């Protein structure tokens, strides 16, 4: 739709929508500390959603006639399990976070995640009811492009965190370094920072080794090199390869900008957001060309990189 041909009513609606969006973003920024549990919960729900959808499909095929009763039973048990896990989590980290808003978020986030996962189809339907029919295919294509990059990246990083943490933990245990489990966990968590993560993660292990067993420092250095080579040559191509398709030079620039703009969160999300921005720009270019492609054709071109 050409903006120049918009009616006065359409322009007013667009201005009001833009103002409301800006106000909402400002409120979210001010309340960012209190919303952290919800953000983490949303990420977990997003990562779990394909499994939940797969499970739901299997249940429908296997237990079609008893689906309603079975779903209710599963939902009740899932809710009880989530509440039990939440209770344990609350006791563990409650001493670390004293703000009322953060603790309150931890209390209600598991239940909130449960409803998000359960009602995802209805939420999708509500979203599309707000969008004119002419733009439904574009929204579906854009959502699919974003989901392919973001979900693939997040799930890949989660798997890599576990693998790298286990490899480093086992290696430190074999070498005989104190606090092997803690140091391996730190290495795994810092894996979320592309390129720089493995280097930063090895620093605490080297410091502890220098303080407790200086003669084994070279073994820890060798362990870090071996783990990184195994990760880069075997696991990254299989697990996370192809999700962002960014040159290492672009990745480093994205990390610098992301860190400067949003700190640790920017370091973690700068790479997938850069890839998503690239794909959306490519998609819009193809859709707004003099001879525009259909949403499906434009999305296919973006996936194929041409």
Report whether pLDDT(70) > 60: no
Give the tens place of pLDDT for each residue, 77-94. Answer: 666 666 665 665 555 554
Which of 40-44, 134-138, 152-156 is predicted with the least confidence, judged by mean pLDDT? 40-44
Average pLDDT over residues 90-109: 55
SS3 for the chain is CCHHHCCHHHHHHHHHHHHHHHHHHHHHHHCHHHHHHHHHHHHHHHHHHHHHHHHHHHHHHHCCCCHHHHHHHHHHHHHHHHHHHHHHHHHHHCCCCCCHHHHHHHHHHHHHHHHHHHCHHHHHHHHHHCCCHHHHHHHHHHHHHHHHHHHHHHHHHHHHHHHHHHHHHHHHHHHCCCCHHHHHHHHHHHHHCCCCHHHHHHHHHHHHHHHHCHHHHHHHHHHHHHHHHHHHHHHHHHHHCCCCCCCHHHHHHHHHHHHHHHHHHHHHHHHHHHHHHHHHHHHHHHHCCCCCCCHHHHHHHHHHCC
pLDDT of residue 222: 93
Report whether pLDDT(99) > 60: no
Confidence of residue 123 (pLDDT cuts 50, 70, 90): confident
Confidence of residue 106 (pLDDT cuts 50, 70, 90): low
Report whether pLDDT(281) > 80: yes
């Amino acid at each position: 739709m050409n903006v120049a041909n918009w009616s006065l009513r359409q322009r007013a609606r667009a201005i009001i929508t833009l103002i409301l969006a800006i106000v909402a973003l400002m409120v979210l920024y001010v309340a960012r500390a209190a919303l952290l549990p919800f953000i983490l919960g949303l990420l977990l729900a997003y990562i779990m959603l394909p499994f939940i959808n797969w499970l739901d499909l299997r249940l429908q095929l296997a237990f079609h006639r008893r689906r309603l009763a079975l779903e209710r039973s599963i939902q009740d048990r899932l809710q009880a399990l989530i509440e039990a896990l939440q209770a344990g989590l609350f006791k563990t980290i409650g001493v670390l976070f004293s703000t009322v808003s953060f603790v309150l978020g931890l209390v209600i986030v598991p239940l909130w995640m449960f409803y998000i996962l359960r009602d995802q189809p209805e939420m999708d339907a509500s979203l599309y009811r707000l969008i004119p029919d002419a733009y439904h295919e574009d929204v579906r294509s854009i959502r699919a492009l974003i989901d392919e990059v973001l979900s693939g990246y997040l799930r890949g990083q989660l798997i890599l965190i576990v693998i790298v943490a286990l490899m480093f933990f086992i290696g430190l245990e074999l070498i005989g370094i104190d606090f092997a489990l803690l140091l391996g966990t730190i290495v795994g968590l810092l894996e979320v920072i592309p390129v720089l993560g493995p280097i930063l993660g090895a620093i605490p292990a080297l410091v502890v080794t220098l303080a407790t067993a200086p003669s084994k420092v070279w073994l820890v250095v060798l362990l870090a090199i071996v783990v990184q080579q195994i990760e880069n040559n075997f696991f990254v191509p299989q697990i996370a390869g192809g999700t962002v398709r960014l040159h290492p030079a672009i990745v480093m620039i994205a990390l610098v900008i992301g860190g400067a703009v949003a700190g640790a969160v920017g370091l973690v999300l700068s790479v997938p957001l850069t890839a998503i921005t690239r794909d959306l720009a490519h998609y819009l270019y193809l859709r707004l060309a003099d001879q525009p492609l259909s949403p499906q054709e434009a999305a296919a071109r973006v996936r194929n990189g041409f």
